[in-house]
Structure 1
Amino acid sequence: MQLTPNFTLAEFTRSAKAQALGLENTPTAAAKANLMRTAQMLERVRAHLGVPITITSGYRGPVLNQSVGGATSSDHLQGMAADVVAPKFGTPYEVAKALAPHLQALGIGQIIYEKSGRSEWVHLSTRVPEKSANRVITIVVGKGVQIGIQRT
């Protein structure tokens, strides 16, 4: 199912972990509606960067979210977030730095530059956190949370 010109429902629900574990990863009707809004936000991000972006993690059902160690309050559970990379633009750090000043214009509620070992990605959510300090953050597994997009 095509959500927007450049993003499909399959991109948001694809998961190697779900496939390996034999898990269903079908969004609820409410999550599907949120995924439409998330895909629209990603279209704006794609246009802003001027290059394609790849969704590395989108919607996660509760069992899948738990199996990947996701937070119980994760926006992925509601279809309100996607983890992305844009190799033709640059590293995830460079992508996050380029997007952070444009949250309002792009409809990004929260941006997180995340790093775990050698893997790194940009988490983009349509949900605006209650605390404004949590709108732009860096998370490095094992090192905690830092305000802003920080080089790690």
Structure 2
Amino acid sequence: MQLTQHFTLAELTKSSTAERLELDNTPPPQVLPALIQTAEMLERIRSTLGVPVTVTSGYRAWAVNKAVKGATTSDHAQGRAADIVAPRYGTPLQIARALAPLVDVLGIGQLIYERFGSTSWVHVSTRVPDKRVNRVITITSAGTQLGVQEV
């Protein structure tokens, strides 16, 4: 099912963890509107970056979210978030730095630059966090910092 011009439902629900553990990652019908909003946000990001955006993690059924040790309040489980990379644009750090000043314009509720070891990605969500100071943050194994930080 095509959600927007460049993003499909299959793309936003693909999960190697779900496949490996044979978990159903099919979103319930009530999550579909949130997935469409997420895909629309991803379209704006793609247009801004000027290159294709790859979703490395989108929707996660609760069992999948638990298996990846996601937060119990994860926006992924509500269809409101995606972890992305865009190698043709640059590193996730470069992507996060480009998008951070544009969160309002692009309809990004929260942007997180995440880095664990040599792996990094950008988490984007349509939901604005309760504490607006947490709107743009960096998360690493060392903890959470405000803004996009090189670690």
Q: TM-score range by the shorter chain?
A: over 0.9
Q: Which runs of 4+ in 1 moved over 4 A?
A: none
The separation in 1 between residues aligned to 2:132 and 2:23, in whole angstroms, is: 35
- Report how far residue 29 of structure 1 moved: 1.5
Structure 2: gaps (5+ residues): none
How high is the TM-score relative to the length of structure 1?
Answer: 0.98
The separation in 2 between residues aligned to 1:118 and 1:30, in whole angstroms, is: 36
Residue equivalent to 1:33: 33
Confirm or deny: 8 A CA contact 1:133 1:147 kept in the other structure.
yes
- Report how far residue 94 of structure 1 moved: 0.2
Residue equivalent to 1:95: 95
Tell me how large the CA RMSD over aligned residues is. 0.5
- Report how far residue 37 of structure 1 moved: 0.3
Residue equivalent to 1:5: 5
How high is the TM-score relative to the length of structure 2?
Answer: 0.99
Aligned length: 151
The separation in 2 between residues aligned to 1:148 and 1:105, in whole angstroms, is: 17
The separation in 2 between residues aligned to 1:144 and 1:8, in whole angstroms, is: 33
- Report how far residue 96 of structure 1 moved: 0.2
Structure 2 residue matching 1:3: 3-state secondary structure: coil
Q: Deviations over 1:77-135 (max 9, x none)?
A: 00000000000000000000000000111000000000111110000000000111100
- Aligned pairs for 1:27-66 (under 5 A) are 27-66=27-66
Confirm or deny: 8 A CA contact 1:30 1:78 kept in the other structure.
no
- Report how far residue 33 of structure 1 moved: 1.1
Q: Determine what percentage of the aligned residue pairs are the same residue.
A: 58
- Aligned pairs for 1:73-152 (under 5 A) are 73-141=73-141, 143-152=142-151
